[in-house]
Amino acid sequence: MRWVVLTGGPNLNYDALVRELSPDDRIICADSGAYHAKQMCILPSKLLGDLDSIDPDTLSWIRELKIPLEVFPVEKDMTDTELCLRSIPSEHPVLLICSLTGRPDHVLSNLLLSGRLVEEGRDLTITDGSTWIYACKGPASFRLNNRKWRTSHEREKLAVSLLPLFQEVTGVTTAGLRYALKGRTLIPGSSFSISNAVQKNAKDIGVDFTGGTMLIMVTPAV
């Protein structure tokens, strides 16, 4: 079973998210993430948070449907998003649906948190419906072949970026990308591995690496 954490913030791709979600997913809303659930006609399993950003109409909708509420104080040591993520049993994969264009502090916090959680052994993916971010801890072999893109034309319009977190990422070798890497070391804070592209007609698309933690970010190129 996959758990989904739905957070607040602007510019979610509702159409893509509705296609991605499955009836078997268990969905938790972090505070104003319930607004997005309402807009997509998705029934969450629970609403968790301090309720400082949810609008009155959405909160009424939650209460009318008798969706369980777990309320925390506003003054606390974790964001509502982290509270949701840490409430999920560690053996389950998690999809974090969050804005990637909203408040910069929340966006950056969620990206760094994903790296920390994958280092703790979690399986975590982030998306806003348009961009997909896969948190990976080495040694790992990651493949993009059949993920979210239905045609080779769609794949060839993607930008693929490799973002090291916390420390160097070693032994990076790519497949099916225009700017090939073989056994490279990537350093946090460098733009060296930003905005690679998928090769035309590539059969195998992916990244292998031997150590470190990184985000593999796949987004439509503009």
Collapsing DSSP to helix, strand or coil, 167 comes out as strand
User: What percent of the chain clears pLDDT 90, i.e. is strictly above it?
Assistant: 85
The pLDDT of 104-127, averaged and rounded, is 96
pLDDT tens per residue, range 33-57: 999 999 999 999 999 999 999 999 9
d(CA 182, CA 124): 26
Query: Prior bond to 188 cis, omega within 30?
Result: no
- Please give the mean pLDDT across all residues of the chain: 93
pLDDT band, very low/low/confident/very high, at 5 (cuts 50, 70, 90): very high
Q: What is the 3-state secondary structure (H, E, C) of 112-165?
A: HHHHHHHHCCCCEEEECCCCEEEEEECCEEEECCCCCCCCHHHHCCEEEEEEEE
Does residue 109 register a pLDDT over 80? yes
**The two structure tokens encoding residue 217:** 């970010």
The pLDDT of 171-192, averaged and rounded, is 96
CATH number (3.40.50.1220, 3.90.850.10, 3.40.50.80, 3.40.50.10240) of 3-130 reads 3.40.50.10240
Return the domain boundaries, the chain. 3-130, 135-220
How high is the pLDDT of residue 188?
95
The pLDDT of 136-141, averaged and rounded, is 95
The pLDDT of 148-171, averaged and rounded, is 81
The pLDDT of 84-94, averaged and rounded, is 96
The pLDDT of 100-112, averaged and rounded, is 94
User: Is the distance from CB of 204 to CB of 175 less than 8 angstroms?
Assistant: yes
Does residue 156 register a pLDDT over 80? no
The pLDDT of 160-180, averaged and rounded, is 96
CATH number (1.10.150.130, 1.10.3720.10, 3.90.700.10, 3.40.50.10240) of 135-220 reads 3.40.50.10240
d(CA 173, CA 123): 22
User: Is the distance from CB of 193 to CB of 163 less than 8 angstroms?
Assistant: yes
d(CA 213, CA 208): 12
Q: Specify the range with the lowest mean pLDDT, choosing from 81-85, 147-151, 203-207.
A: 147-151
pLDDT band, very low/low/confident/very high, at 149 (cuts 50, 70, 90): low
Give yes or no on whether 3-130 and 135-220 have one common fold.
Answer: yes
